[in-house]
Amino acid sequence: MQTVLSILRAHFREHNRSVLFASGATLLFALIGWAVVYGVFYWFTVAFLSVKEGLQFQGTEHFNRNFLSSVGVLYVATLVDRWVFRYSPEAVDRRPFSETLLDVALFLPRMTLSVFENFGVWIYLSDRQLGSAARLVEVIRERGRFALQEVPILIPTEREREQIVAALRVAQVIDIRPADGIAWLYIGSLAPGELTPALTMKGSGEQGTAERIRD
């Protein structure tokens, strides 16, 4: 029978593989996109200069430099758009044409930057932290839920505690749900099946779980 520690280790490994695959696929599509954009703009540039200069056309010696400069401007605009401006998450019926145009212009830079952002959910825990995470999950399984404010009892170090809880949430091993003014940790619905709470009874719901905890 697998231990909670081995289950978590395997689940984190699978999660990181997914992050790596998603980042690699995104990078591949971004590179293909940039190659297509480069080819299209190069073709139009050659066609325009050929018509404009005729027999005096000698090539596009400054094209690469101008193209890279334009790409750099787009990346700067993407960073400014992401870090400075804040948009409402609420859906709107109509968007200004300028915003739609901006989304199109910044599509590839945003896709490229998302490759690095994907690694923000990469999980790395030391063996000691993995052991602490396993103990926390075991307690949640046994009790059905565990108060977030009581986690320092199991993991006294604040930084380590934050890292472990964040890793378990990112991997969807645990969920945090408020009840009675308290934030409770539950085994997540997308957690590995082997981590199903030991005290969970089908059809009992939250009330039954709370009663078993009080007992």
- What is the per-residue pLDDT across 36-78, written as a single tens digit (0 to 9) for each? 999 999 888 888 777 776 656 565 677 888 899 999 999 998 8
**What does the pLDDT profile of the chain (215 residues) look like in tens digits?**
479 999 999 999 999 999 999 999 999 999 999 999 999 998 888 887 777 766 565 656 778 888 999 999 999 988 888 776 655 555 455 667 777 888 888 999 999 999 988 888 999 999 999 999 999 999 999 999 999 999 999 999 999 999 999 999 999 999 999 988 999 999 999 999 888 876 553 444 444 443 444 34
End-to-end CA distance of the chain: 28
In DSSP notation, 14-42 reads HHHHHHHHHHHHHHHHHHHHHHHHHHHHH
pTM of the entire structure?
0.73
User: Class assignment of domain 127-214?
Assistant: mainly alpha
Residues pairing with 186 in the sheet: 175
Q: Number of helices and strands (H, E) in the chain?
A: 8, 3
Query: Domains of the chain: which residue ranges?
Result: 4-120, 127-214
How many CB atoms are closer than 10 A to CB 133?
A: 28
